Structure 1
Amino acid sequence: MTKAASLTRICVAYLAALAVACAWLAWGWSSSLWLDALVADLLATLVIFGFSRYHHNSSFYDAYWSVVPPLLAGYWWAAGGLGVDDVRAWMVMTVVVVWAVRLTANWVVGWPGLEHEDWRYPMLRERAGRWGLLADLFGIHLFPTIQVFLGMLPVYVAVTRTGRDVGWLDVLALVLGLGAVALELAADTQMRRFVRDRQPGAVMDRGLWGWSRHPNYLGEIGFWFALALFGVATVPADAWWLFVGVLAMLAMFLGASIPMMEERSLERRPSYQDVIDRVPRLVPRPPRRTRA
């Protein structure tokens, strides 16, 4: 199957998911804006899960991570009562849309088509054994959806509530959010060039990757932290819970994504151990020199 045909099937799946979500939002039983959005989000995820199972490829879900946040933010803003002249809402939407377009475009460019499935998915299903179907449903589809929803709750606060006037914290969140997207763009561009030109067994320790082993994940965490700051800027009294999503993201990257990536890198390229010894895992600093 060609890449164009694969992307067409992905688009059909996402349009079907969007239709189900919109149907719920139109006729759902709840009067709570955030709860209606959560149920719609979960129903849409189940649609994508159905397409994943039918095509035997859970990478149908890959773009869901970046496609849904701007839809959630736009729905909340439109239904929440804030006017189109709300400056903070425009700032939040700018960060979310720029991030979503960049990340989705990066996936489209790098994804070869339906003959490819993210290497982590078969591994998770195999490790689950006879519970592989549940691992696919919850671990690959529903759990990430809930994580992203938690990360978006500060956006819900920022685009539905009339809080403090726009101030320095909003500006900081805007700069941090756009800077995080720029960091991810630079890191992914450098990695793509390295993969294109690398020699067998070579490991990436150049540019941003010489200062942090996972600068792309650092940028992703920075984006979600920026969203939390927008929520705090709106209602400072809610700061105690607005970072729940960021903490969930941090736990996922540090507890699962990074260890899995590094385990795989060591299995395929033992010289990666030298990178681990010299380059910090996440927070950037100059790499240590190799001892003679």
Structure 2
Amino acid sequence: MPKSKSLLIVFIIYVLAFLAAGYFLQYCADPYSIWNVFWADVIATVIVFAGSLLFRNSSIYDPYWSVIPPAIALYLSQGIGGDFHRNVLVIGVVIFWGLRLTLNWARGWKGMAEQDWRYSQLSSQTGIWYWGVSFFGIHMMPTLLVFLGCIPLWNTLGSDAPLDIVDGLAAGICFVSTVIEWVADEQLKMFKSKAKKGENMERGLWSISRHPNYFGEIGLWFGLLVFSMGNPGFQWWEVAGYVAMLVLFIFISIPMMEKRMLASRPLYSDYQKRVPMLFPFLKI
């Protein structure tokens, strides 16, 4: 199947997912409540999973990670009515991040013939149970994590407090984090186009962090949390999403990636000793 046709299919699946979520919210008594938006998110995920199952490719879910936060932010801004200037700032940085990450995925994905190596590995490990694992582990778990990361948006977008320096700081963190992630991805893409077999990427941002793209991703979610921290109504449990992101990257995503790197790159163990795993200039 040509890549253009594959992307069109993914687009149609996502349109159906958002239509289903919107239909559900239309009949809710309080369509902007956290719980109702959560269930709409779950419904959309189920539709995307159905597409993954139909085309036997769990990578159809991959852009959901970067598509749903801008959708939630735009939706909330229409219904919970906070400060206009803050809303524009928040929506701007979220769309900038989401658009960049989604386009990066679309550029790198080869189409229905390709599935993320981690999913293929899970498939070989779980056999007939794979699609149950895919539903809960590849689709629903990230949906839950991303939703937790989006919870600060309710307080931020609904606040009538005037724009202040904390909002500027939060926006700066989100913007710089997105740029870091962008530059790291571009540096890696350029390296892969010229690298010899078994060679490590140790240039640019990759010389101060083994996973600068993940560092940038985590920074974006921290920035969204800072937005909420600077506004009245902030609740301590809003940090759950950011903590969940840290756990995901530090204890799941990065270990899986590094195990694969160690198996294919003889010099990677030396690289691990010299360069921090995630946070530049720190031993973590």
TM over 0.5: yes
1:194 is paired with a residue of what secondary structure?
A: helix
> Contact 2:31 / 2:37 at 8 angstroms: preserved in 1?
no
**Corresponding residue to 1:185 among 182, 186, 199:** 182
Post-superposition offset of 1:161: 3.2
Greater mean alpha carbon deviation, residues 268-277 or residues 103-112: 268-277
Q: TM-score, normalised by structure 2?
A: 0.95
Which string of whole-angstrom CA distances, capped at 9 and with x for unpartnered residues, describes residues 100-130 of structure 1?
Answer: 0110111111111110000111223443455
Tell me the equivalent position of 2:100.
102
> Contact 1:147 / 1:245 at 8 angstroms: preserved in 2?
yes
The amino acid of 2:243's aligned partner reads L
Post-superposition offset of 1:88: 1.1
> Contact 2:207 / 2:275 at 8 angstroms: preserved in 1?
yes
Tell me the equivalent position of 1:241.
237
> Contact 2:53 / 2:131 at 8 angstroms: preserved in 1?
no
Which string of whole-angstrom CA distances, capped at 9 and with x for unpartnered residues, describes residues 3-29 of structure 1?
Answer: 101101101110110110111111235
Distance 2:140 2:89 in 1: 29
> Contact 1:212 / 1:284 at 8 angstroms: preserved in 2?
yes
Distance 1:180 1:47 in 2: 31
Q: TM-score, normalised by structure 1?
A: 0.93
The amino acid of 1:268's aligned partner reads S
Unaligned runs of 5+ in 2: none
Tell me the equivalent position of 2:7.
7
Distance 1:204 1:178 in 2: 25
Q: Which runs of 4+ in 1 moved over 6 A?
A: none
> Contact 1:166 / 1:233 at 8 angstroms: preserved in 2?
no
Please list, as runs of the form range in 1=range in 2, the aligned pairs for 1:103-142 lying within 5 A after superposition: 103-142=101-140
**Corresponding residue to 2:257 among 261, 269, 274:** 261
**CA 1:286–1:206: 2 relative to 1, 3 Å:** farther
Post-superposition offset of 1:34: 1.7
Instruction: Provide the alpha-carbon RMSD of the alignment.
Output: 1.6
> Contact 2:32 / 2:76 at 8 angstroms: preserved in 1?
no
1:62 partnered with 2:44? no
Distance 1:81 1:280 in 2: 42
Which string of whole-angstrom CA distances, capped at 9 and with x for unpartnered residues, describes residues 175-227 of structure 1?
Answer: 11000001001100000000001111111011100110000000000000000
Distance 2:183 2:152 in 1: 26
Tell me the equivalent position of 2:169.
172
User: How many residue pairs were aligned?
Assistant: 283
Distance 2:45 2:234 in 1: 29
Tell me the equivalent position of 2:45.
45
Distance 1:110 1:277 in 2: 30
Post-superposition offset of 1:160: 2.0
Distance 1:47 1:91 in 2: 31
